[in-house]
Every structure is written in C-alpha cells, then in structure tokens.
C-alpha cells in the first residue's frame, strides 16, 4: 500500500487561467470559487481565469486565488476516492493542508488566507522589502552571510527550499548586500518579483492582529498528519496548530526539512495538489535517486484524469 502525501503550493505557482477547466466541469468547484468571491467581496474567480497577471500576483488577490485552486483540486481528488496519510503546504499552501486534514473548514480556510493577504499587503506598504533566491550554498553558509548582512539592515532566511536553494528576505539594502556576498562565494542570487519581505521581521506588525483573528476560527484535531512549516514536524492538538500558524507568518519555511521528514515517514507517493509544478521541481532536487518514490500532480482536468486512471 502506498503512503501518500498531498503537497499544496503557494505564491509563485500562480498562472492566469488556473482552475478554469475544473470550474467549468464540476458544480462543487464552482461552489468553492463562489465562496471565494463572496468572502473576498471581489471577483477572485475572474482574476484567476482572466488576469491580468499583475492583478493576480497582488498578494491580496493571490492568496485567496491560489487557495481556491488548491481547494478545487483537493475536492476533485477526494471525490475520486484518493486520500492521503500526510499533508504539507509551502507557506500559503499550508492553509490548504489544514483543510486537507480537516483542521478548518473550506470557508474558514478562505477567510484565513484573505485576512493574511490583507495584513501582509498593509505591512508591505509600510515597510519596503525584497527577497532573493540564493542557489549554490548550504543553509549553514547562508545563515552566516545573513548574520553578517544584518549590519546593513533587516535580513533573514525566508524559505529553505532545497539543500542549496534558500530564499532570503528583508530590507532591500540588506538583501542586496547578502546577495552580493553569496555571489562572492560562488552562488547565484536571483531577485524575486514580490511586493514585500515575506516571512521577515518587516511584516511583524501583522502578527498580533493575525493571531487574534486566528482565535475567531474553529480549529479541530487533524484527521491525517500535517508537517508544519515552522517545525518540520507534526502536531495533533488544535490549539498548538493555531499557534504554529500565527508563528508561520514571520518564521522561515522549512520545506527541505519537511520533505526529509516525509522521507523518514516512508512516504512513497507525493501528489502536488494545485497549480503548477513548483513543488514537484523541488522534490526532484531533494529526494535522492535511490529513494523509491513517485511524484504526481493535479492542477487541471488533464492531470486529474491521468492521476485517477493511474491510481484506480
């Protein structure tokens, strides 16, 4: 029997047109997008399907949009009778993992990501930030460069995506200084097109209000195990999961450690549930060739039909 993990993407996986064919095919998917539109008080579905990309990538739109597509794909795969043993999501995607594990409802998942996006946008307007992907150095070396770079301003690790792909975040000057230092150490530094310094102290002003908002949402114990961004570990208690989601806002995303944990749990089928193949790409960098596994994804009707055919 396969041990299955559902993995949910976040920012960076968006594309104009995502989810549209599932929307046209299934009533239950239309209900998810209708709920997203109603909760957001905006045409999230229209932005998803028609763009433009500039509007879609604004974090206030992107967070409910990507989440709606994730939840549509999850609903489709569950309707096909496919269940998972583990759930995990990359940053924003962790909220879809909460829904996958039955911790929060569909509507509350959308409410959480909408509030999260609004607060992050507000903080990004008040504190200009930047992010950069450092490719070719390990986490220990990047941490040393980050520590040295803090003399130039606020900078920290945002995402540990793979062994040698690490995203840094903070003030533009400090991110530029650490990026230059990384290049001097033989790495590549790739500036990211983002509107704020996500997972950094520069959005700390959102944490207290978001923590209070989390308290208004019903959390229940998970029906399958979630591997959380903050700890790269599981948690079975609903109040502790709520606390982890509050911490996640400004803490590093430990994705490399998360996948290593799933390997330790002997997961042998990884299914990326949502738009794009960003997480599948990271899995190729993390999972060793000798580790017996398969990576599949569902982001549209074609991949859904292929997945159901293969697993049925």
Spell out the per-residue pLDDT of the chain, length 312, in tens: 799 999 999 999 999 999 999 999 999 999 999 999 999 999 999 999 999 999 999 999 999 999 999 999 999 999 999 999 999 999 999 999 999 999 999 999 999 999 999 999 999 999 999 999 999 999 999 999 999 999 999 999 999 999 999 999 999 999 999 999 999 999 999 999 888 999 999 999 999 999 999 999 999 999 999 999 999 999 999 999 999 999 999 999 999 999 999 999 999 999 999 999 999 999 999 999 999 999 999 999 999 999 888 887
CA distances from residue 103 to 6, 81, 177, 215, 295 in whole angstroms, order as listed = 15, 20, 41, 14, 25
Q: Is residue 232 part of a domain?
A: yes
Asked whether residue 164 falls in the same domain as residue 269, the answer is: no
Q: Is residue 84 part of a domain?
A: yes
Final residue in a domain of this structure, among 191, 215, 238? 191
Asked whether residue 181 falls in the same domain as residue 208, the answer is: no
Asked whether residue 164 falls in the same domain as residue 29, the answer is: no
Check residue 180 and give its pLDDT: 98
Check residue 311 and give its pLDDT: 84
Q: Is residue 30 part of a domain?
A: yes
Asked whether residue 84 falls in the same domain as residue 183, the answer is: no
Asked whether residue 136 falls in the same domain as residue 269, the answer is: no
Asked whether residue 175 falls in the same domain as residue 210, the answer is: no
Count of domains in the chain? 2
Asked whether residue 133 falls in the same domain as residue 281, the answer is: no
Q: What is the pTM of this model?
A: 0.97
Q: Is residue 36 part of a domain?
A: yes
Asked whether residue 236 falls in the same domain as residue 96, the answer is: yes
pLDDT (tens digit per residue) in 58-69: 999 999 999 999
Q: Single out the catalytic residue among 121, 127, 199, 228.
A: 199
Final residue in a domain of this structure, among 155, 173, 191? 191
CATH code of the domain in which 90 resides: 3.40.366.10
Is 91 among the residues known to form the active site?
Answer: yes
Check residue 195 and give its pLDDT: 86
Asked whether residue 80 falls in the same domain as residue 211, the answer is: yes
Is 43 among the residues known to form the active site?
Answer: no
Final residue in a domain of this structure, among 161, 191, 221? 191
Domain that holds residue 17: 4-125+201-311
Asked whether residue 224 falls in the same domain as residue 98, the answer is: yes
Asked whether residue 25 falls in the same domain as residue 155, the answer is: no
Q: Is residue 10 part of a domain?
A: yes
Asked whether residue 142 falls in the same domain as residue 275, the answer is: no
Q: Is residue 196 part of a domain?
A: no
CATH code of the domain in which 182 resides: 3.30.70.250
Q: Single out the catalytic residue among 91, 96, 162, 171.
A: 91
């Amino acid at each position: 029997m396969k041990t299955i993990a559902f993995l949910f993407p976040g920012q960076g996986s968006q594309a104009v047109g995502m989810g549209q064919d599932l929307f046209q095919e299934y009533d239950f998917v239309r209900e998810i997008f209708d709920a997203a539109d109603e909760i957001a008080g905006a045409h999230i579905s229209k932005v998803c399907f028609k763009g433009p990309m500039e509007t879609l990538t604004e974090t206030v739109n992107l967070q409910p949009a990507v989440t709606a597509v994730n939840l549509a794909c999850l609903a489709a795969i569950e309707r096909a009778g496919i269940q998972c043993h583990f759930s995990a999501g990359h940053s924003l995607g962790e909220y879809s993992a909460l829904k996958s594990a039955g911790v929060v409802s569909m509507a509350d998942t959308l409410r959480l990501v909408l509030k999260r996006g609004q607060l992050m946008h507000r903080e990004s307007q008040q504190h200009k930030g930047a992010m950069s992907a450092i490719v070719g150095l390990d986490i220990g070396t990047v941490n040393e460069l980050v520590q040295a770079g803090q003399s130039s301003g606020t900078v920290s690790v945002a995402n540990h995506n793979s062994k040698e792909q690490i995203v840094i975040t903070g003030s533009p000057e400090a991110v530029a200084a650490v990026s230059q230092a990384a290049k001097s150490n033989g790495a590549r530094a790739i500036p990211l097109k983002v509107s704020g310094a996500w997972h950094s102290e520069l959005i700390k002003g959102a944490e207290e209000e978001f923590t209070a908002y989390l308290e208004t949402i019903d959390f229940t114990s998970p029906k399958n195990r979630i591997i959380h961004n903050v700890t790269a570990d599981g948690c079975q208690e609903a109040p502790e999961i709520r606390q982890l989601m509050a911490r996640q806002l400004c803490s590093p995303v430990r994705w490399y450690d998360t996948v290593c944990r799933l390997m330790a749990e002997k997961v042998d089928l990884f299914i990326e549930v949502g738009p794009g193949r960003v997480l599948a790409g990271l899995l190729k960098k993390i999972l060793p060739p000798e580790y017996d596994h398969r990576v599949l994804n569902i982001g549209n009707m074609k991949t859904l039909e292929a997945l159901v055919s293969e697993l049925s």
